[in-house]
Each structure stands twice: as C-alpha cells, then as structure tokens.
Structure 1
Amino acid sequence: MTPHPHPHPARRAVLRTLAALPASALLLSEAPGLLGAAHAAAPPSGSATRYTIVPFPNSNDGTVNVYQSDDATDFRLLRSSAYTPPAGRIRDASVIRHTDGYYYVTYTTRTWQDTSTTIGFARSADRLNWTFLYDHPVPIARLSRAWAPEFFVDTDGSVNVVVSCSTTDNEWIFTPYLLRATNSALTAWTSPVALSGIGANHIDTFLVRIGPTYHAFTKNETTKYIEYGTATSLTGPYTLTRTGNWAGWGSYREGPALIQLDNGAWRIFFDGYGDGTYYYSDSRDTFATWSAPAALPAISGTARHFTVVKETVAGGPAVPRDVTRSLGSVNYPTRYWQQQSALLNLPVVSASSTTAEKQAATFTVTAGLADATACSFRDASGNYLRHYDFRARFDANNGTTTFARDATFIARAGTATGSLRFESYNYPGHYLRHYGYQLRVERADGTDLFRQDSSFTPVTAWA
C-alpha cells in the first residue's frame, strides 16, 4: 500500500512537538481534536472571514498601514499611512474590535532609542480612518521604557493591556505588566501589576485564555527565542515550560500574535527581525506540533510587529450546494475543470466537445465532508475531489478523517465577479491552482498571477 505523502515538503521538514496555544482576544472553550476548537468553521455562504492587521512599515515607525486578508496568509494593502499620531511614533500596534463597534489600537509612542513612558491609543469606525485618543502615562516608579502594549480580552469581557516595561535601574531589562480598563470607553486603567513567574528580561508577552488556563508567549531578550508558559490566574504565577528553540521557529524572533483559522487550526505570527522576514507557523493538532515557519507572502520584509483581528462579515461568496456545475478558469476562459484518468486537469471544453468530455467537466457541489459550511466536489461516479501529494484527483471516499479533510475546501472570493478560490481545509493558505493546465494545491505567494490562476467561475454544467 502506498503511504499517504501528506505533509508539504516545507512542513515535512520541521513539524515540531509541543503544546502551545491559541488566539488573540478570541476566547474559546477547550475542545479535543486534531484541528483545535470544535466550533471553528468556514464562513457560511454569503459571508466571509476577514483578518485585519495594522503594522508599522519597516522603513517608517511614524505611521501604520492597514492590511486585510480572507485567509490570514494573503494580506493586501487596504490603506497606507492610515494613521499617524499627532506626536511621537507608532510601533508595535495591537488592535481589537471593542463591544462599542469601534476598532482600538494601542502602541509604543517612541522609537526604540528614546525614553518611552507612555502608550498611545486611537480608534476607528472603519479600520481606515483613525482618531487619536490619548497617550497614557504608565505609572511605574523610575520607568524608562513602556513598550509593545498588547490587548487581551478576558472571558468576563474585561479589556486588558500587557505592556513590557523597564526602569532606569536597567533600561534594557523588561518585565511584563498588566493594566485593566476601568471603564467601557477604555480611557481609564488600573495601576500596573507585574505578571509573576515570567520574570525580568522578557518582552512582547502575548496572552490567550483557553478554559481555565492562561497561556503566555513571550520573547526572552537574552536568548532571543519566543518562550511559552501557562498559569491559572491572569497575573500568574506563570510557569515557562518551553524555552530555547522548542517549536523550531529559530532565534531573533519577537512580537508573537496568535489567531484561530477557519478550520480550527491555530496560527502564530512573529517578526523575524534578525533576518528581515515576517513568519507564520500553524498548529493543526491542538498545539502538539507546529509547522515549519514560512515567510508571510507579499508583506514579509515590509510589515513590523502586529496583532490580528478576525471577523465574520457579510458579502462573502455564495456557494451553490447540491447542484451540478462546471468550473471555468478566470484567466483561461475556454478551459474548465475536467477529470482525466482520475486527475483534475484544465483542458479546453466547448459545445463541440464529446458527451464524455462534457460529463467529465461536470461536478456536484456538496457540503464539505469535514465542515458542512465549506464545500466538496463529487464526480458522476461518486468519487470526490481531494488533494494527494498536493495533486488534485478524484478518489472514492474511504470514510477516514484524512480523506474528509483532503476533500474539503473553503470558498474565498476570486479575482473576477462571481468567481471563487478554493482554499485547502487542512492546509490553510494553500489553494487549488492550475499550473501547466493541471490542478494542484499550492501555497499562496501573494501575487496577482497566483490569485488569477486559483480563481474559477461556477457556470451551468456542461452535462
């Protein structure tokens, strides 16, 4: 029996063990299973997932850009220089959407060389137009630097900020402190409380809560590795159980931020400032293993230190269900999906094609085998489209979890009106894409060509 060569070569190289954790500001009950929290799902038909980041550019820490993505991989610029504070700088921006409907950002107000004793706040109704609110003086005796404030929303709805602070005793030794908002307008905060157990010389601490447990990802400024620990109380004591290169992410990494993807997997983003690359890495098995870090396409080398807001919004693609359709290429409009010897290819199909050729280019769109809000494709013989060694092919459903996930795709908006892109359910950021008129599942590279090659329009079935 031929083994299932499932892991992508890049992921095959380094799937690392160990427990880590989940998402920015999203608080989820613990759920066992390979892909994480059970209630994570693809957006329903007519809705879309939207990820927003607000990083400062590598070339200018006086402003931030706004980027948007529907898959947490392919981020595209929404507005450059969207917010410039009236004074000071804006670094390490952390963003949430608050219960009042506004987006709030908190940030470091000075460049790294300067004394920095405040953290800044601004808000926006639309993510594009931002209004400065105020600079908040962090009340710590002999404070030298207050850096990298990170929002954390607890299960009781309280809004907190974790800020890395150093004192004049040693301006380069940072300790994480917690401030809690005392009003819904986020204009008043408690006195800072040190997170116990993490200890001095840690910066960029990012918190997530799962069930009763608080999880912390924090950069060790001595070793330059992102470390991991847990606690049963928000302020600790935390126990750092994973240190050094425990996840295979390498050193000179900072600014960790996590989010849960539509398939329940978790993604960590971090700034590889040592090599000028921005990375992401996924955990697909309840944080037992992490994929090899990959450069974030298009914005790696440009964006610096961000967190992520994930939302489900209206206006996403409407995906037909339990109907037969043919799927035409957006950039090769005479070519259509067609099964050829169990493989999915992209030949020319026309009115003069044979009945057999038209039938081979006709598929039934069904609810996703692994997620009913996603989709699967069945041919006339009852076999399902799935990826195998990243080649698109049709096989009989063997009833396994692996097959169900291989045969499930999350529909994203395509490049042309009415067109769709199909993201692999179990390989986030990978899409059905034609290359040499063959259909494969490949990682998005952030180019317009890739988006066009992976866009297909459902049309009236040929047969």
Structure 2
Amino acid sequence: MRRIAVRLLMAVLVGLAACLAGPAPAAQAAVPDSPAVTYTNPVAEKRADPHIFKHTDGYYYFTATVPEYDRIVLRRATTIQGLSTAQEVTIWTKHTSGVMGAHIWAPEIHFIDGKWYVYFAAGATNDIWAIRMYVLEGTGSNPLTATWTEKGQIKTTWESFSLDATTFVVNGVRYLAWAQRNPAEDNNTSLFLAKMANPWTITGTPAELSQPTLSWETIGFKVNEGPAVIQHGGKVFMTYSASATDANYCLGMLTASASADLTNPASWSKSSQPVFKSSDATSQYGPGHNSFTVSEDGRSDILVYHDRSYKDISGDPLNDPNRRTRVQKLYWKADGTPDFGIPVADGVTPQRFSSYNFADRFIRHWEYRARVEANVSPLADSQFRVVPGLAGSGTVSLESANFPGYYLRHKNFEVRLEKNDGTAQFASDATFSRRAGLADSAGVSYESYNFPGRYIRHYNYLLYVQALSTATDRADATYYAQ
C-alpha cells in the first residue's frame, strides 16, 4: 500500500509540475530543404529551345535558338535573373554554303572533361530540311571567349532528320538522347538513346525509347523531340516535347530506374497525359523544349522552357519569332515524381507555403475556401504570387497562380479566395503585413492590414484571421515559403 501511495504522490507532483510549466510547446516541422525562390518572367524575349547550365565557376550559361536561325549565342550571369540583361555573344555563325548552312536550332552547352561542348542541329544551304546534329568544342575557362572548333556531325543509325541532342550521366555512364525520324515509321520524330564513346560520338546500337502514338503527341505533326533529363530519388525522368510548335506543343515524360539498363526501352514508362501544357488561365501557350537547372543556392530544381503569350499564330509557327525563355520552380510529389504545375503568368513566379506544425500541409484554395492540405492536386491550387499589397506600401497581397486576379482575403475573419472587385474594402481585406514567423523566424506570418494583431492561421485545417495568445496559435500562424 505504501508503494502505491508513493506512486500516486509522484504522479500528482509530475502533473502539478506540468501545469505550472504551462502547455507543451507546439510540434515543429523541419525547415524545408528547398526554400522559396522567385524569378520574373520572361527571362529572354525571342529566345526558343532554351538551355541554362550552371557551372562550378559560379556562372549560369544560357544559349537558345534565335529567330533568324543563323547563329549560336551565349550569355552568362551569376544569377538566373541576371541572364535577362547579360551581354550576348555570338560564338559561331552558320556556313555560307553546304552543311551547317541553314536552320541552326536548339543549341545546348555542356562542360565535359575540362572542355566546353555545344550540341546543335542544322540544315544545309542546298536542303534546309536536311537537319542533322553537330558538335562544337570550346577550349578556355569562359565559353564566351573560348576558341571553338567543329567536331562534325553526330552519326547515328540513319542519315535522316535528327535534332535536339542532349547529354547526361547516370551512374558514371554518359548518354546521348535525341530526336530522329525512323524511316520505318509514319511519324516525324521519335526519341533515341545511346551511350557515348566521347562527347561527339555514340557507341552501340541506339535504343528507340518513344514514338508519338498518343493523341496529344500527334496534333499538327507526329512529334517526340527535345529530350531533357533530371534525376531524383533513384529515378531518371526524361521530358520531351510533342505535337506542332503552336499552342498544342506540350511536355510528356518518360521514367526509368537509375539502376536499370537505360538502353533497354522496356526500362522506361511513358506518361499517359502531358505533364505540362498550355494554360488559358495564365495566357501561356505551347510550353515546351525545356531544360533543367538549379537555383542559386543549389536547393531547388528549376524548369526552363519556352512558350508564347498568345494562342493564335499567323502563318507557319516556325516563322513566328515570339517564343520566349521562361523559368519556374519545379516541385516534387510525395512519391518522388516531379510536379510541373502550369506555366505561370508573366511577372514574378509564385511560391507555396507549408505549415510550420504540419510539414506536409500547404496553404491551398478549394472551392474558394482557403485551408491547409497535404498532397495538393492540382499543384497550382497551392501556389500564390506575393505581390505589392493592394491597400498600401510596405504590405503584400497573395494572388492565386491559377486564378490571376483572385486573392486571399478575409471575410467575417474566414480566409477565402475571391476576385478583386476594385473596392477599398476588398483591398484592405486582401492586404497583409509580412512578419518573421511567430513560431520560427525562419518562417513567415501574415498580419491583417485592417485588423492589426490578427494573423492568418489554420484551425481544424481551415484558414482564418485571428488574434493569437498561445504557442499553438503562433505555430498555426507560421508558414515556410517553398
């Protein structure tokens, strides 16, 4: 009995101590590995098929197709945004006669074994559609001032229409992927892959990974082209462009295990639907021919692509010069696959906001009510542009990525997504002061403009603007920008 009494007394004392100490601290999510990065689009006007390469020297190198189809240009800057205004240098010009004399397309720049290489496609002066793949080699630390020599044509199985060479390494093996017309098929181009003997020579029999057979791959032209590769979580993802180069242009994706035999077509699976396509909501059309790079801090993957800001094109799309280079952050789903979202509107790129105390939940709108939720689909429901506050300087408003002109605003202290009606009341309700996170200064909290002391917080996973008094309240009002 004496032992039982002692145990009861100890339990009472522990409980009393807990009460005196106050409530337990709110659960805390880890600071995200990939914090928010933002850019302003477009990065470069009249530059199609963009390729951005981040080198170990701290510079981003940018090349793309120019609308005159007559030369290869390079820019460099220490930031992605800096490429917008960086000096552009012509490193090579088309031949005046013969091969490499027409249709200079889709250059890519790579650094391999201490030298620079540019892969590009070109026609001939006597046959502009005799498109083949060629390689330049550059010697020197800065490719804008390097000495460039022609290494010649990349030879493949057939002498047929071929273009869009890209190179990548998986498990120490270098590969070349490209698009080519298979004479045995009734289409324009399919995707091929081969190992490389050196930066301008393939080895072994090329594997045909994909041909255009799905409805969204065959609009206007039957096309699989512009392969680009990104690796994540033990998987290899190869995006490619499909259909004609108008508003129907879009991205598909192939997936393989990094440990598989990549030269075996059976190792790859194809997406049944486009992973990235035109958006009427954001007025972005024909997104395609992408590449991938990384953010300045190396912690976010960045999607690089071209599109147009209008749908209707007069004449042949190849003669329309207004494809422009754009960038936006690439996100990753819980299953390790990429989530491209939609081509975002021109201007500043959007961010996502994860809950401080529920790491897998993001602010999103659902039927115009704001909430926090995991596994958000579509991604754009959880993306918001942080723009200057509608009601006053030094403040911000949160504009929906997929409903431009709609903002998070409070009404009866509930946070909703509504269209800006132009009134002073709406502007005030949709304006917030951005504060350091109340539960973690690495995060962010949003204080109401017209009700100071009230913050956006989640309660039962719905968003409200409320006054805060407890540690839990402050945790519920803290978010991480991603």
Q: TM-score, normalised by structure 2?
A: 0.49
Match of 1:228 in 2: 253
Match of 2:151 in 1: 134
Q: Look up the SS of the partner of 2:88 in the other structure.
A: strand
Flag the 1:162–1:288 CA change in 2: closer, same or farther, 3 A. Answer: closer
What displacement does 1:80 show?
2.6
Q: Look up the SS of the partner of 2:440 in the other structure.
A: coil
What displacement does 1:140 show?
1.8
Given that 2:276 and 2:342 are in contact with CA atoms closer than 8 Å, whether structure 1 keeps it comes out as no
Query: In structure 2, how many angstroms separate the alpha carbons of the residues matched to 1:296 and 1:91?
Result: 27
Query: In structure 2, how many angstroms separate the alpha carbons of the residues matched to 1:66 and 1:155?
Result: 29
Q: 1:153 aligns with which of 166, 169, 190?
A: 169
1:210 and 2:232 matched: yes
What displacement does 1:253 show?
2.8
Q: Look up the SS of the partner of 1:78 in the other structure.
A: coil
1:79 and 2:88 matched: yes
Match of 1:179 in 2: 194
Flag the 1:399–1:56 CA change in 2: closer, same or farther, 3 A. Answer: same
Flag the 1:131–1:263 CA change in 2: closer, same or farther, 3 A. Answer: closer
Aligned-residue RMSD, C-alpha:
4.1
What displacement does 1:401 show?
6.0
Query: In structure 2, how many angstroms separate the alpha carbons of the residues matched to 1:293 and 1:242?
Result: 23
Over residues 256-306 of structure 1, what are the superposed CA-to-partner deviations in whole Å (9 max), with x where a residue is unaligned? 111121262221111226663332232245544636435589xxxxxxxxx
Q: 2:440 aligns with which of 386, 399, 419?
A: 399
Aligned AA for 1:127? P
Over residues 47-74 of structure 1, what are the superposed CA-to-partner deviations in whole Å (9 max), with x where a residue is unaligned? 984211122322x222122112333233
- After TM superposition, the structure 1 stretch with the greater mean CA deviation from structure 2, 189-198 or 395-404, is 395-404
Match of 2:357 in 1: none
Query: In structure 2, how many angstroms separate the alpha carbons of the residues matched to 1:390 and 1:193?
Result: 57
Aligned AA for 2:237? H
Q: Look up the SS of the partner of 2:444 in the other structure.
A: helix
Flag the 1:114–1:212 CA change in 2: closer, same or farther, 3 A. Answer: same
For the pair shown, which has the larger CA radius of gyration, 1 or 2? Answer: 2
Which structure has more helix as a fraction of its residues?
2
Query: Between Structure 1 and Structure 2, how many residues are aligned?
Result: 279
Flag the 1:181–1:164 CA change in 2: closer, same or farther, 3 A. Answer: same
What displacement does 1:205 show?
1.3
Given that 1:35 and 1:263 are in contact with CA atoms closer than 8 Å, whether structure 2 keeps it comes out as no
Flag the 1:291–1:400 CA change in 2: closer, same or farther, 3 A. Answer: farther
Query: In structure 1, how many angstroms separate the alpha carbons of the residues matched to 2:161 and 2:88?
Result: 30
**Higher RCO by CA contacts (8 Å cutoff, separation 6 or greater):** 1
Aligned AA for 1:272? D
What displacement does 1:146 show?
0.9
Flag the 1:291–1:272 CA change in 2: closer, same or farther, 3 A. Answer: closer
Given that 1:37 and 1:264 are in contact with CA atoms closer than 8 Å, whether structure 2 keeps it comes out as yes
Match of 2:270 in 1: 240
Flag the 1:172–1:242 CA change in 2: closer, same or farther, 3 A. Answer: closer
Query: In structure 1, how many angstroms separate the alpha carbons of the residues matched to 2:71 and 2:225?
Result: 22
Structure 1: state its 5+ residue gaps.
1-31, 41-46, 298-342, 346-388, 405-424, 428-463
Query: In structure 1, how many angstroms separate the alpha carbons of the residues matched to 2:431 and 2:93?
Result: 44
Q: Look up the SS of the partner of 2:203 in the other structure.
A: coil
Q: Give aligned-pair identity as a percent.
A: 8
What displacement does 1:92 show?
0.6
Q: 1:196 aligns with which of 209, 216, 221?
A: 209
Flag the 1:177–1:36 CA change in 2: closer, same or farther, 3 A. Answer: farther
Q: 1:282 aligns with which of 329, 332, 357?
A: 329
